[in-house]
Amino acid sequence: MLESCSGSVTTGAVITTTTNGQQEQDEDDNEVEDDDNEAEDDECSSSNNEQQKSLSERNQQRCFRPDSGFLRHLLFFFNPTYTTDVSVLVETCRLLLEFVRDTGDVVSLFAGTEYASNNHVLVVRYRVKKFVHACIRAVYGNRNKLRDQLFVESAILLLDAVKLLIDSSLPWACSTVTYLLQGNIYSLFREIVLIVKDRSCPASNRVVSSFECVIALISSHIGQSTCTCPSVDPQCCFLSQVLTIPFLWQFFPHLKEIFASSSVSRHYFHHMTLCMKGHVNVLPPDIAIDLPGYACLLGNLLEVARLAFAQPEPFTMAVDFATAATFLLEALPSLQSSNMGSKEMSEDEMVIDDEQTEKVLNLGLEQQITNAIDPRFLLQLTTVLLGGFSPLNGSYNGQLDEKHVAAVTAVCAFLHATFNILPLERIMTVLAYRTELVPVLWNFMKQCHENQKWSSLSAQSPYLPADAPGWLIPLSVFCPVYKHMLMIVDNEEFYEQEKPLSLKDIRCLIVILRQALWQLLWLNPTLPANFGKSANDVFAMKKHPLEFLQHRVCVVASELLSQLQDWNNRRQFTLPSEFHADGVNEYFISQATMENTRANDILKQAPFLVPFTSRAKIFTSQLAAVRERNGSQGLFARHRFRIRRDHILEDAFNQLNALSEEDLRGLIRVTFVNELGVEEAGIDGGGIFKDFMENITRAAFDVQYGLFKATEDHLLYPNPGSGLIHDQHLQYFHFLGTVLAKAMFEGILVDIPFATFFLSKLKQKYNYLNDLPSLDPELYRHLIFLKHYEGDVSDLELYFVIVNNEYGEQTEEELLPGGKSIRVTNENVITFIHLIANHRLNFQIRQQSSHFLRGFQQLIQKEWIDMFNEHELQLLISGSLDGIDIDDLRAHTNYTGGYHKEHYVVDMFWEVVKNLSLENQRKFLKFVTGCSRGPLLGFKYLEPLFCIQRAGGNASEEALDRLPTSATCMNLLKFPPYRSKEQMEQKLLYAINADAGFDLS
């Protein structure tokens, strides 16, 4: 990373290699300098009085003309700290400019008395560079006088003379520029600029203009093909000394255009890349604590990059730019204007350490950086780097070469750094829909995966160690951009049109993401404990850039895989097992049940890697552990409910709401009162409570009650108009959330088919357009028609409003402030479509969902629910919709009272049960266990196990007239030994359909 210098800075060796011609030229210059010095010494020794005469007196004695020796004396005696000397130099510059303007002759003027000699060319070259340097030193030495109007005119003359003499067409241009560079001229320029750019300077525009031309001539000289200047110390170069000046282009717009030219920008971007790759510290001390040099450099480079990329053949230059800019971006502190989350630190992070103390950028500098990285710039950068590798480009041969790798690495590294400092919503849409980023990256990743080329990618990347996985950089960018596309794409585009990726490619992508996650999280874990859990990840990124990248890939890959699993649940295009990691075994499961283990972290971060049945086992074990800690496995209940069957909802609401959260975790026992006011027979050992839970959920979630509505597929979701029916509707939603949580907490399955978009609210997820068909397929079809409408949408006379119709009351709501006046057009129709979907799926039921969630989370922790997607959550609530597995029930049944598994009555019994309708099978199961649905993981997990006991003694007529009875608290069926299947079926059906409460128990 680049860092600001303080004091002395050690850098790499200075490259001083020159061409042979340049070496000869320098040797000639040295000879001329020696001759001039000898002549000056002779003249000085001839007369002590002559040495003391001022330059003004000399100027009076000698005229500045081609045959004069005045210039030689001026250069020898000149001292920029003497006002008189500077005045003489200024007057000389005025005469020089006039002479050249009139004659066009520079050589004879600088040759002076040596014009006739054979080496006058060398003399001119030597004196020009000395004269130019003297002029710049004069301006530098008097830079504080630039506030004085009197010195402004002098400074302009000095700078105009410099402009004249360093013109690239002159034969001594390289010699002069080399001399200036070796004299650290840019450090002088830096100090002058910091004064000149002060707007309070009188006539500053004129000084800036002249000074800008001087800097432009020198800085652009090196980028020319004819230049033979040697390389200079990076600490003294244009990049470090001038481009680190804050907001440089505001004062030097012409210099900005010069720098953006192809040859100049290509040279400096490449030079900067070499420094960045070697982590060379080349920057001068910061101007201010909130204006660090590296950030000022970044701001200036970003601002000029758009002009540079518009030049011919910008590919190589863009690679160098992206490479260098990435290092600078990663060095930035948190930006005040970005939504990076809370900047609060935990006690562990509050250490007294310079590295930990976060700096804050100057707001203007921050705005310069963030404004430069706008959608247009990102579109331009990705187009320059990736345009040649687009699948739509007929010239692309589909092969991976160094150029391809360089482009992908550069653009992905730059975007990865950008994602960490800018709000994603600002830049993600342009990357997803206006660039070829997704198809190009996908084809690149697919080729690397199929040809096992990942290692070559990391070997060529300047950001990764050679042994790091090569897919880290591409995945860090591809995943969030493709995830954004999936939030906008509709079902027809995804499934039928297979956009933006084919279903075959998505299946391959799932494999890549699954393997990458499993390697990072389990096989080769390298992340420190609790890495990335800090509220401020910028510190983690600076201290551990590779670990931060790995953490980032884990997060975005997990989010994308979860989203692809949602699409697969809507309409299956691959086997659910394709999301499961290959290495999940019993050891992993045992580790996953324990907190602060890596397996447990995987379960939280990427639960889809673990098969559903394994996660369900972990979930049930977690619930059992909590129940045991809260004493709910004890014999005595702390609370008993007396529930009237004809007022079950009201009684349950009043009694359950009176319990604290701790009480809710304990045992609750129920006594039912029938319509006659008589308590029903039976002691609640758990079975009556199961029946209570089934009955209360059936009543409360019935659409006739008005709290919930049903979709066309008979799936339940909160009624947006519930407040029109019940004054206490929000309290009831809180209550129903608690009821559902209590059922899950006790392991009781209830027959409540929820709509997927409502189950998302239990996971605190946001619903998107592709979820709308489950709520309102007709509205979805209309919106898709709008999305693909080829005409002028404004002709349809639509506005940003939506009409709600609840129980005959129509209300109009604006989707945006002032929406009644905002017409839907081709430009904003996509926004309109998603605002409509958001209103129906999220906004309308936000209050009901929020209160339901609060009640639900009293018993069911969020991290438990986060282990499951919406489809799996429905299984946790209701069990499988495929029916009851009678064979599984039979395999896990105990027998007592003389029955055994091969008894003829038992054989008949199972034949009868297996031939019952699904509805009667559920009634039978409820009759025996108190719940109409079997255990989530199979009947071997039923506690206690299903048991059939012989009833009625011998097969007497009196015994055979008895009905089957049950003890639901023990899952016990008391069954007489009927003689025929017909009689057995008749008695069984009568018992399970009697609806006699627990009077037959």
What CATH code is carried by the domain that includes residue 899? 3.30.2410.10
pLDDT by residue (tens digit) across 241-292? Answer: 999 999 999 888 999 999 999 888 888 898 888 877 655 678 888 889 999 9
pLDDT score for 35: 45
With respect to residue 574, please indicate whether it lies within any of the assigned structural domains: no
Distance CA 623, CA 196 (A): 72
Q: Which of 189, 192, 184, 190 is nearest to 296 (CA)?
A: 190
Q: Which of 372, 498, 487, 484 is nearest to 429 (CA)?
A: 484
Same domain flag for 252 and 180: no
With respect to residue 121, please indicate whether it lies within any of the assigned structural domains: yes
Is residue 698 within 8 Å of 751, Cβ to Cβ? yes
Full-model pTM: 0.81
Mean pLDDT of 634-642: 69
More confident residue, 2 or 657: 657
Strand, helix or coil for residue 772: helix
Same domain flag for 615 and 722: yes
> Angle at CA 710, nearest 5°, toward 706 and 712?
150
pLDDT by residue (tens digit) across 486-519? Answer: 988 899 999 999 988 999 999 999 999 999 999 9
Same domain flag for 364 and 379: no
With respect to residue 602, please indicate whether it lies within any of the assigned structural domains: no
Mean pLDDT of 888-895: 94
Out of 93, 554, 931, 969, the active site residue is 969
Tokens of 245: 């000046």
CB atoms inside a 10 Å sphere around CB 30: 12
pLDDT score for 13: 26
> Helix 293-309 and helix 262-277: axis angle, to 10°?
140
286 vs 11, 196, 543, 605, CA distance in Å? 17, 18, 22, 42
Is residue 441 within 8 Å of 474, Cβ to Cβ? yes
Count Cα neighbours of 355 within 13 Å in the Cβ-side half-sphere.
7
Given strand 893-896, what is the order of strands in its sheet? 893-896, 946-950, 972-975, 965-967
Same domain flag for 872 and 815: yes
With respect to residue 571, please indicate whether it lies within any of the assigned structural domains: no
pLDDT by residue (tens digit) across 147-159? Answer: 777 788 888 999 9
Same domain flag for 112 and 128: yes
Distance CA 275, CA 462 (A): 12
Structural domain total, the chain: 5
With respect to residue 829, please indicate whether it lies within any of the assigned structural domains: yes
Position 764 confidence tier, pLDDT thresholds 50, 70, 90? very high
Q: Which of 321, 165, 319 is nearest to 239 (CA)?
A: 321
Is residue 792 within 8 Å of 845, Cβ to Cβ? no
Q: Enter the DSSP assignment of 144.
A: G
Tokens of 205: 């525009």
Distance CA 160, CA 165 (A): 9
Q: Which residues contact 105 (CB under 8 A, 6 or more apart)?
A: 66, 99
503, amino acid identity: L
pLDDT by residue (tens digit) across 41-61? Answer: 444 333 333 443 444 444 443
Answer whether residue 342 shows pLDDT above 80: no
Q: Which of 226, 258, 228 is nearest to 242 (CA)?
A: 258
Mean pLDDT of 606-632: 88
DSSP sequence for 648-706: HHHHHHHHHTTS-HHHHHS-EEEEEE-TTSPBPSS--SSHHHHHHHHHHHHHHT-GGGS
**Which residue, of 878, 899, 929, is where some domain finishes?**
878
Is residue 912 within 8 Å of 981, Cβ to Cβ? yes
661 vs 640, 732, 736, 741, 860, CA distance in Å? 16, 16, 14, 12, 11
CB atoms inside a 10 Å sphere around CB 444: 23
Kind and range of the H or E run holding 214: helix 204-221
CB atoms inside a 10 Å sphere around CB 697: 21
Position 214 confidence tier, pLDDT thresholds 50, 70, 90? very high
Q: Which of 65-74, 113-122, 207-216, 948-957 has the highest mean pLDDT?
A: 207-216
Same domain flag for 865 and 831: yes
More confident residue, 832 or 638: 832
Mean pLDDT of 734-739: 95
Answer whether residue 626 shows pLDDT above 50: yes
Answer whether residue 24 shows pLDDT above 60: no
What is the phi/psi pair of residue 612, to 5°? -60, -45
> Angle at CA 100, nearest 5°, toward 97 and 105?
150
Answer whether residue 201 shows pLDDT above 70: no
pLDDT score for 398: 63
Position 451 confidence tier, pLDDT thresholds 50, 70, 90? confident
pLDDT score for 28: 45
Distance CA 567, CA 388 (A): 32
Q: Enter the DSSP assignment of 400.
A: -
With respect to residue 743, please indicate whether it lies within any of the assigned structural domains: yes
* Cis-peptide, bond into residue 500, ω within 30° of zero: yes
Rg, Å, the chain Cα set: 41
pLDDT score for 11: 26
With respect to residue 289, please indicate whether it lies within any of the assigned structural domains: yes
Same domain flag for 76 and 138: yes
Answer whether residue 535 shows pLDDT above 70: no
246, amino acid identity: P
Q: Which of 428, 438, 429, 411 is nearest to 325 (CA)?
A: 411
Position 393 confidence tier, pLDDT thresholds 50, 70, 90? low
pLDDT score for 192: 87
- Beta strands at 708-710 and 716-718: parallel, antiparallel or unpaired: antiparallel
Kind and range of the H or E run holding 893: strand 893-896
Question: Quick check: is 236 catalytic?
Answer: no
Same domain flag for 400 and 489: yes
Task: Strands of 755-892 (E only): list them.
Answer: 801-806, 809-814
Same domain flag for 853 and 749: yes
More confident residue, 868 or 388: 868
Is residue 938 within 8 Å of 892, Cβ to Cβ? yes
**Which residue, of 209, 232, 255, is where some domain finishes?**
232
DSSP sequence for 954-984: S--HHHHTSPPEEEGGGTEEEE---SSHHHH
Distance CA 184, CA 113 (A): 31
Q: Which residues contact 85 (CB under 8 A, 6 or more apart)?
A: 55, 77, 78, 79
Same domain flag for 366 and 469: no
Mean pLDDT of 183-204: 76
958 vs 896, 907, 954, 965, 977, CA distance in Å? 21, 23, 9, 15, 12
Using the Cα atoms of residue 347, residue 352, residue 355 and residue 358 in order, give the sign of their dihedral.
positive
What is the pLDDT of the chain when averaged over all its residues?
A: 83
pLDDT score for 901: 92
Mean pLDDT of 582-592: 89
What are the residues facing 708 on neighbouring strands?
718
What are the residues facing 950 on neighbouring strands?
975
108, amino acid identity: S
Same domain flag for 710 and 791: yes
pLDDT score for 73: 85
CB atoms inside a 10 Å sphere around CB 943: 9
Is residue 721 within 8 Å of 962, Cβ to Cβ? no
Is residue 381 within 8 Å of 309, Cβ to Cβ? yes
pLDDT by residue (tens digit) across 857-883? Answer: 999 999 999 999 999 999 999 887 777
- Beta strands at 639-644 and 668-673: parallel, antiparallel or unpaired: parallel
Same domain flag for 383 and 364: no
Which domain, by its residues, includes 77?
Answer: 59-232
**Which residue, of 850, 878, 906, is where some domain finishes?**
878
Q: Write down how long the chain is.
A: 1001
Which CATH number belongs to the domain containing residue 818 in this structure?
3.90.1750.10
Mean pLDDT of 532-556: 72
Share of the chain above pLDDT 90, in %: 46
pLDDT by residue (tens digit) across 795-816? Answer: 999 999 998 887 777 888 999 9
Kind and range of the H or E run holding 786: helix 777-787
With respect to residue 573, please indicate whether it lies within any of the assigned structural domains: no
